[in-house]
Structure 1
């Protein structure tokens, strides 16, 4: 994971020192890649990459340039199937091809397949390719938007593309849509959707516990590919516990001398600390517990909102403990972290899914949640970890696993009755698939929001602090100060105020909105309950 930035000038626009301009603009996202900064610039373009070196530590420095010096690539993310793609390129060329890093296959695929290259990639990515000869660019983002990406146009027509909104030096800034590519030049370009999942109409596979286990195991193995040590976030919940189990199995088979490093966080009253300790003991991981206080969380809010580029309440609440976890992991020497994002979206893990009236509504809602995750949990996972120069990987969101899991019948993925009792359990088939792998109390532990699991007093204390800071008369006039997406309570007003100090303008406020709350008939729940 890295940070990328580019600026493309239209004909007639001159920047006296475009290289320096781009270098300075990209500095704001240097936390994403502190290992090195690479710049390639010409008269009408500049491309910058802030590198967090994980694969190809010596050979993978970017921007990468093609053998004929015509194509320039800056990429952010990880391409998990790059070895298979390297073989594809070799076979197509009839000559050996050895990629300099996982990102290098993007350049080779573009040379061979053009714009179709994006649909061949399995991973999380955002990248920019510039063709010196045609003076055109090709920009793409992964299907679920696991890597953040923004674009915007200046008053003089110059076009910006960057991993973070703060680097787009224009009030006209927009989230680059997931699953799309953009091609053209600064004044004449088009955005094309290449990723069009049809999960809601493909829910036909019956549940098979062995198949689900094998598919997730394969996804974990791909996500373990790195030239640096890997750790895991362990909350003691089902998702992270399953992943830690599969990683320990991976190490037994592939690296018997390696012991998994795990991190957990919570307040003194945290359920997560207790549950994670139980899992760590069961799996014999090298475990670190971090206990934090609410006043620490409050102190972090301004800097965290600057990193996150959002004012969404649930995203910010959950980001605080993840930010502290990432800081601990990085200080312990870990750049790559495995985490359990995605399982709740795929398997209906949020408690409101118990209210789904039928399998069709359930499937539609899981599809919506998954495609919107880049606005909430996906954004939080990406930016809170990279704020501490850590890359977070989510095996549940690996492309092949998502495709498989989302084609399982909705009725099988819905909450199921537990034995002969009247109790329904969410993520039932995931629990069944791993019920012999972990302690029973972990397998059947109810899903909790991350911000609840770290301590039930956490959200209440944050809300109390916000009410102390934001007077009722401020809330009464909120619509005058914030006419777009007006905050309706003290906590949302507090976050919006901090956001507005860093990011001015209506367009930037529109990029800072979190994932929408449930809307279908299956989700009879209020936003405050969900968060």
Structure 2
């Protein structure tokens, strides 16, 4: 069982409580495969044979993911857990106090588990800055030399009185890493590979420096209203919801697919992710936030920014680019595709280039 003791998982099964006080779990208990409601740990079984399973899909001939929130047996998949839909907080001050307590406690607990010596994937945004302010391990940022993330990480680290290790990417790194990521994740689409590449390359450096864990800020954008499409709901066609709160629940539902990719990429590089902002305490609190504490005007992640009052204002208020753009990985992979003859007028030219690297 990954992530939790079997007794805890049995309690979650008995009570149908999806947020029982873990950072996720997946594995076998009493002859069944189970995966927590947010899919924070990946789990696969051989197609048609649940008794043959692994956390690594490359161990299996025909891996079939166990859906998040489900129990899998020989009889098939059964949904056990769904995310609660609690009423929102009425008092903003109480909401922000609760968010602050949840994030501080969860990050502090992660630090105690590792004696504080867990490296942090640090982009200079509020999510990774919360981790950097509470954990003593070294900070790492990755990107091409002129990238936004490298510069943002350097300035934010300075504001926190920390130093940051820069993992500078090259075209050779991308060409080498793409087939490795495709094999590890089973994914070939350009968006997934663009997102996974920076994680993978930074994690390789962390592993080479002798660490086997890496603290990441995964989940904060989904839980706290960090996406532009959420802020623009209901006008943005990328979400169906009529409200910011409803749109936030839509993107939270995308977490199992995203986390499967990210965890597999990080493990392939040699580290185990530590994701304090996906702790059940943080999730439970975030689900109760009203729309105005998710997005207000041009400001996203309102409650998280207010709660993180232990950070310098310049860091708290900083906007962050998506990792594939902030590191320039998306731009440079596109450049490599065009140099290899895969022009933009072609259908999915970057995807075709990815396929060519894996041949």
Task: Give the TM interval when normalised to the shorter protein.
Answer: 0.7 to 0.9
1:233 maps to what in 2?
121
74, 95, 116: which one aligns with 2:14: 116
Residue of structure 1 equivalent to 2:275: 394
Alignment partner, residue 189 of structure 1: 75
5+ residue gaps, structure 2: 236-240
Verify the 8 A CA contact 1:115 1:138 in the aligned structure 2: no
CA displacement 1:43-68 (0-9 Å, x = unmatched): xxxxxxxxxxxxxxxxxxxxxxxxxx
1:71-470 correspondence runs (5 A): 75-76=1-2, 78-79=3-4, 105-106=5-6, 108=7, 115-116=13-14, 119=17, 120=20, 122-129=22-29, 137-153=31-47, 159-170=51-62, 173-183=63-73, 188-199=74-85, 202-208=87-93, 209-226=96-113, 229-247=117-135, 259-357=136-234, 360-376=242-258, 378-414=259-295, 416-417=296-297, 424-434=298-308, 436-455=309-328, 458-469=329-340
Q: TM-score, normalising length from structure 1?
A: 0.60
Deviation at 1:443, TM superposition (A): 1.9
Q: Per-residue CA shift, 1:191-228, capped at 9, x if unaligned? A: 222211133x6334443333221111111122224357
In structure 2, do the counterparts of structure 1 residues 334 and 174 end up closer, same or farther at CA, with 3 Å as the change threshold?
same
In the alignment, the residues of structure 2 paired with residue 262 and residue 430 of structure 1 have an alpha-carbon distance, to the nearest angstrom, of: 21
Shift of 1:464: 2.6
Distance (whole Å) between structure 2 residues aligned to residue 114 and residue 406 of structure 1: 19
Per-residue deviation at 1:128?
A: 1.7
The structure, 1 or 2, with the larger RCO (C-alpha pairs under 8 Å, 6+ apart) is: 2
TM-superposed CA distance for 1:344, in Å, is 0.8
Report the Cα offset of residue 234 of structure 1. Answer: 0.9
- Give the aligned CA root-mean-square deviation in angstroms: 2.8
Q: CA deviation at 1:427?
A: 1.4
Q: For this pair of structures, how many residues does the alignment match?
A: 349
- Structure 1: give runs of 5+ residues left out of the alignment: 1-74, 80-104, 131-136, 248-258, 418-423, 476-487, 502-531
Contact 1:318 1:380 (C-alpha < 8 Å) held by counterparts: no
Higher alpha-carbon Rg: 1
Contact 1:349 / 1:447 at 8 angstroms: preserved in 2? no
Distance 2:14 2:137 in 1: 38
Q: CA deviation at 1:245?
A: 1.6
> Cα–Cα, structure 1 residues 266 and 430, in superposed 2: closer, same or farther, change >3 Å?
same
Cα distance in 2 for residues equivalent to 1:167 and 1:326: 22
Superimposed CA distance per residue, residues 79-108 of structure 1 (whole angstroms, 9 cap, x where no aligned partner): 3xxxxxxxxxxxxxxxxxxxxxxxxx31x4
Aligned residue for 2:348?
Answer: 489
CA distance in 1, matches of 2:84, 2:321: 29
**2: CA distance between counterparts of 1:495 and 1:215?**
40
- What is the SS of the residue equivalent to 2:127? helix
